[in-house]
Structure 1
């Protein structure tokens, strides 16, 4: 019975992501009012809200007994408390547009992210980029897929071979920030560092062997719920900055192809936690 339910949820999550993706593409030239959350680099549009409403309404119709945690409804300040209150049973964790700044500027690196958890642990992940029609999916213990084809992490054996990615929280976007200092620590030790601006897709790029690692602080459950499952099902690993298994309410995330993980953790730990 549980298997059939999760198969149904997997199929419906893909359907919802595709429907939201179509809505987003229809509004590419008409994004409506663009608002600021914390500052000029933390954006939300009418389309974010419409995408969330679409997905939320479908879940409430098809799975009325399941809880929902979503970015625009919850808000960053309440994410931790909301997750702790609602982490039993099946729940849907939604980012209606992960990478809103990219969406606003027409950069083709944003996604609809839908993660489904059971008792707080991810069991289904769906990440869909409507501009490239790339669909990343996973079910727990069933593997990870890109447009229906199995995917696996890369085989880079050292940090020197690794292409890494990171990102900024809105309040970290300033000169001399901690993230910039971490990048400086990795300069010359890794092949290069990229900043793409959509955590769910960055995790999927590791899952498909295009990136080797990704680190970020201050993420919320909707940023990671789908991507971490896709990555781990592709053979990767996700921890916090101290190397402990990652949980959706943790404030730091370090992800990799598993092989370079210890070396990666050591490199970014060289900067003391309190420095900024």
Structure 2
């Protein structure tokens, strides 16, 4: 698995360099969703094809899932779940908060994850049972209390957006804000959850089922020693309607707040 991890990291760095060199210096002029999608596809499709070529060579027998749009996680066999340009909105807006992500699933569970953010100079990696690393060094959440935490969250996924999840997202933000130093949305879900793994954020939460974006960060956070559950404290699964990853000292406090939503 270490050879596959090293090859995956190399592939993501190659794709990240490709995208970094092509990111516009100014926000893309796109007045409609259709124009924005066309501009993004022109950049993302070649990058996604390159990523698929590199990772298929690493694991020829693994299937391929369509990144951020994937909602159904196969329960059998090996599958690559990848997003060549995770954080499309930021990328097109000439902002630095985007990443390249790859997760290898085996029988429905992540066994390897890499989240590479070229402009941040960060590469988070994890293997099941092998711990988590940031830029090659072991990483872990930092001891925190909720009152001394920088928290992060995200909106429910756009595809199949559930009105109940939208309501919970707004209500939970109002509930959490009085108890923390700050709440931020720092771009891709996978990258923010990875930053919980490395201690840069104390916690991340989200409402709405979002397996494609949450699976890489779920492995990274858990392998680093963070607590990963749903908002009720149950073990997180890809079809769960909510997600929480937090440093051990913060997790119970956060759940107490979220249970009031």
TM-score normalised by the shorter chain: which range applies?
A: 0.7 to 0.9
How far residue 32 of structure 1 moved from its aligned partner, in angstroms, is 8.4
1:267 aligns with 2:251: no
Matched, 1:19 2:14: yes
TM-superposition CA deviations, 1:32-55 (whole Å, max 9, x none)? 896738x989x9442222222111
Structure 1 residue 160 and structure 2 residue 150: aligned? no
**Structure-2 residue corresponding to 1:231:** 221
Q: Does 1:221 align with 2:211?
A: yes
Distance 1:142 1:40 in 2: 40
Query: Which residue is 2:63 aligned to?
Result: 67
| Cα root mean square deviation, aligned | 2.7
The structure 1 residue matched to 2:237, chosen from 247, 254, 276, is 247
Partner of 1:3: none
| CA distance in 1: counterparts of 2:29 and 2:111, whole angstroms | 35
Give the direction of change, closer, same or farther, for the CA distance of 1:32–1:211 in structure 2 (3 Å limit).
Answer: closer
Q: 1:262 to 1:146 in 2, by over 3 A?
A: same
Partner of 2:33: 36
Is contact 2:221-2:227 (8 Å) kept?
Answer: yes
Partner of 1:274: none
Q: Flag structure 2 segments of 5+ consecutive residues without an equivalent.
A: none
Residue 100 of structure 1: aligned partner: 88
Query: What TM-score, normalized to structure 2?
Result: 0.87
CA contact (8 A) 1:32 1:46 kept: no
TM-score (norm 1): 0.82
Aligned-partner SS, 1:112: strand
Tell me if structure 2 keeps the 8 A contact 1:116–1:123: yes
Q: CA 1:65–1:136 in structure 2 vs 1: closer, same or farther (change >3 Å)?
A: same
Unpaired runs of 5+ in structure 1?
1-5, 272-276
Aligned residues: 253
- In the alignment, is the contact (CA less than 8 A) between 1:24 and 1:47 conserved in 2? yes
Determine the C-alpha separation between the residues in 2 that align with 1:105 and 1:40.
10
> Aligned partners of 1:33 and 1:225: how far apart in 2?
32
